[in-house]
């Protein structure tokens, strides 16, 4: 296992460091998705497809794409536009250029259509990939890492093995000065008081309570039952019990701040990400699948995501590695090839939560030092971004 001393990153102009150095190939409307994907097929490890499918403008999507294209793991950006979509490609290109990264925009309607745009894109990506392969790296400290966590495909084991083990790893990372982000306020209903008691300031405690109340109202309006019948079959009795299981991912550290997708935490510590949109309910469910949550973590600078799963999710992500933590020992045996960590050993008396937490921590450092996660080895680069709307966070949300 690699140690922190071997961690190296690529230094960006804004002072952040990347643990990967990839070319982001970004489609700016679904109509350009095929061309973007074809540009990357020859270099799946170096060139990752991201994008926004909508033709109508959305400030949230614009901000997310700007943050993702200037993510520390990204070394160069190719924008692929159809030409007539509403996305502000000029602003996005300027933001990337201002970040010091090489950037180019291809516009299918002006650049000769599908075949010619793919050829031009492949040439550009090949040049950039060669340059990135030669780019020098610099030493990187744990305190410079940003790590997110999500859970998906949860079952009765998630809250007693994988999630608390991830929480122990979070505590170790926060103690070493790293930035850790947990999320999904809709699955923290019932946890608001214990969460508020961990806030570093009384004003932040008020903000944390308010974020869960907003989520409860939002989901009630949608008629979304966040407690499925299968949860009860798996031994979970109440929504607060299910929430507490998810909450375990946050560990025991004080909560330093509350951020929204795309907000970059100003310093190390533990942050809650409020993923539920502000204002009236529109555009549907807050996050339509697990990758939407991973994308929001990345937009806030997460170098990697810890993904706890009981039923057995297999996804990875574009741009930033996903570390898969199996909560259920039976599922682990079926999907071992997809899983990085078997937290289910806790149930079988083969390991303690402390041991699994330490194992996750070691894996985080190894990934940061260049080791590949299982989903990376398998070529998973899922990505999804849809419409949302947010108000800016209040002044009490960030540490002073």
Partner 1 sequence: MTDITTDPRLLLLAPDDTVYVLRAQIDAGETVLVEGRAVTVPHRLGLGHKIARQPVAPGGKVVKYGAPIGSASHAIAPGDHVHTHNLQSDYTPTYSLDSAQAHTSGSTG
Cα R_g (the chain), whole angstroms:
20
Q: What are phi and psi of 394, to 5 degrees?
A: -80, 165
User: What distance in Å separates the CA atoms of residue 268 and residue 280, rounded to the nearest whole number?
Assistant: 33
Minimum CB distance to partner 1, residue 153 (Å):
14
With respect to partner 1, which residue has the nearer C-beta, 131 or 222? 222
H helix intervals, 300-392: 329-335, 353-368, 374-377
User: What distance in Å separates the CA atoms of residue 379 and residue 37, rounded to the nearest whole number?
Assistant: 14
Task: Assign residue 301 a region (left: φ > 0; alpha: ψ between -120 and 50; beta: otherwise).
Answer: left
With respect to partner 1, which residue has the nearer C-beta, 3 or 237? 237
| Binder of partner 1 out of 14, 123, 233, 350 (CB under 8 A) | 233
With respect to partner 1, which residue has the nearer C-beta, 157 or 300? 157
147 scored as a contact of partner 1 (CB under 8 A): no
Residue 288 token pair:
């339509």
Per-residue x/- marks for partner 1, 107-146, CB under 8 A? ----------------------------------------
Q: In this structure, what DSSP letter does residue 201 have?
A: S
156 scored as a contact of partner 1 (CB under 8 A): yes
**Contacts of 305 by beta carbon, 8 Å cutoff, 6+ apart:** 147, 148, 149, 150, 294, 297, 298, 317, 320, 321, 322, 323
| Binder of partner 1 out of 59, 225, 284, 394 (CB under 8 A) | 225
Q: Of 370, 379, 378, whose CA–CA distance to 1 is shortest? A: 370
Select the span of 68-76, 87-95, 131-139, 242-250 touching partner 1 (CB under 8 A). Answer: 242-250
With respect to partner 1, which residue has the nearer C-beta, 240 or 382? 240
Minimum CB distance to partner 1, residue 362 (Å):
24
Select the span of 18-26, 233-241, 279-287, 318-326 touching partner 1 (CB under 8 A). Answer: 233-241
With respect to partner 1, which residue has the nearer C-beta, 87 or 332? 332
Minimum CB distance to partner 1, residue 227 (Å):
6
User: What distance in Å separates the CA atoms of residue 209 and residue 213, rounded to the nearest whole number?
Assistant: 6
User: What distance in Å separates the CA atoms of residue 48 and residue 120, rounded to the nearest whole number?
Assistant: 16
354 scored as a contact of partner 1 (CB under 8 A): no
| Binder of partner 1 out of 54, 152, 186, 245 (CB under 8 A) | 245
With respect to partner 1, which residue has the nearer C-beta, 79 or 351? 351
Per-residue x/- marks for partner 1, 278-317, CB under 8 A? ----------------------------------------
**Contacts of 309 by beta carbon, 8 Å cutoff, 6+ apart:** 151, 152, 153, 154, 158, 162, 324, 325, 326, 327, 331
Minimum CB distance to partner 1, residue 240 (Å):
5
Select the span of 6-14, 107-115, 229-237, 314-322 touching partner 1 (CB under 8 A). Answer: 229-237
Q: Detail the DSSP E strand segments found in 34-87.
A: 47-51, 74-81
Minimum CB distance to partner 1, residue 205 (Å):
16
Task: Give 274: exposed, middle or buried? Use CB within 10 Å, 0-12, 13-18, 19+.
Answer: buried
Task: Give 103: exposed, middle or buried? Use CB within 10 Å, 0-12, 13-18, 19+.
Answer: buried
| Binder of partner 1 out of 199, 236, 302, 369 (CB under 8 A) | 236
Minimum CB distance to partner 1, residue 229 (Å):
4
Site size toward partner 1, by CB under 8 A: 33
Task: Say how far residue 241 (Cα) sits from the centre of its chain.
Answer: 25
Per CB under 8 A, contacts with partner 1 among 175-214 are 189-191, 194
User: What distance in Å separates the CA atoms of residue 53 and residue 32, rounded to the nearest whole number?
Assistant: 9
Contact footprint for partner 1 (CB under 8 A): 155-157, 159-160, 164, 189-191, 194, 216, 225, 227, 229, 232-241, 244-245, 247-248, 328, 346-349
């Amino acid at each position: 296992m690699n140690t922190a001393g071997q961690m190296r990153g690529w230094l960006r102009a804004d002072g952040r460091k990347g643990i990967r150095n990839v070319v982001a190939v970004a489609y700016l409307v679904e109509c350009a998705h095929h061309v973007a994907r074809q540009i990357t097929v020859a270099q799946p490890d170096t060139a990752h497809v991201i994008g926004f499918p909508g033709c109508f403008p959305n400030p949230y999507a614009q901000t997310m794409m700007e943050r993702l294209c200037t993510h520390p793991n990204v070394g160069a950006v190719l924008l692929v536009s159809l030409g007539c979509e509403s996305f502000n490609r000029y602003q996005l290109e300027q933001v990337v250029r201002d970040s010091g990264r090489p950037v180019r925009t291809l516009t299918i309607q002006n650049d000769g259509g599908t075949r010619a745009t793919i050829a031009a894109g492949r040439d550009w990506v090949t040049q950039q990939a060669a340059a990135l392969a030669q780019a020098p790296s610099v030493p990187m400290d744990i305190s410079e890492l940003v790590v997110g966590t999500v859970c998906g495909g949860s079952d009765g084991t998630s809250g007693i093995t994988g999630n608390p083990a991830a929480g122990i790893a979070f505590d170790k990372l926060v103690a070493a000065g790293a930035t850790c982000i947990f999320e999904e306020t809709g699955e923290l209903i019932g946890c608001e008081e214990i969460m508020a008691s961990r806030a570093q300031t009384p004003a932040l405690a008020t903000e944390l309570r308010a974020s869960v109340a907003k989520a409860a109202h939002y989901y009630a309006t949608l008629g979304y039952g966040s407690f499925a019948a299968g949860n009860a079959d798996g031994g979970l009795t109440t929504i607060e019990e299910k929430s507490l299981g998810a909450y375990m991912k946050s560990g025991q550290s004080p909560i330093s701040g509350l951020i929204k997708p795309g907000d970059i935490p100003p310093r190390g510590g533990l942050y809650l990400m409020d993923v539920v949109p502000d204002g009236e309910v529109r555009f549907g469910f807050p996050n339509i699948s697990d990758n939407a949550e991973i994308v929001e973590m990345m937009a806030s600078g997460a170098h990697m995501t810890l993904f706890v799963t009981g039923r057995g999710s297999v996804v990875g992500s574009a741009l930033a590695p996903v570390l898969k933590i199996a909560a259920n020992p039976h599922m682990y045996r079926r999907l071992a090839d997809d899983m990085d960590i078997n937290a289910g050993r806790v149930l079988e008396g083969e390991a303690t939560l402390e041991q699994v937490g330490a194992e996750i921590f070691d894996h985080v450092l190894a990934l940061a030092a260049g080791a590949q996660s299982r989903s990376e080895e398998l070529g998973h680069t899922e990505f999804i971004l849809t419409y949302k709307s947010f108000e800016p966070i209040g002044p009490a949300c960030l540490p002073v």
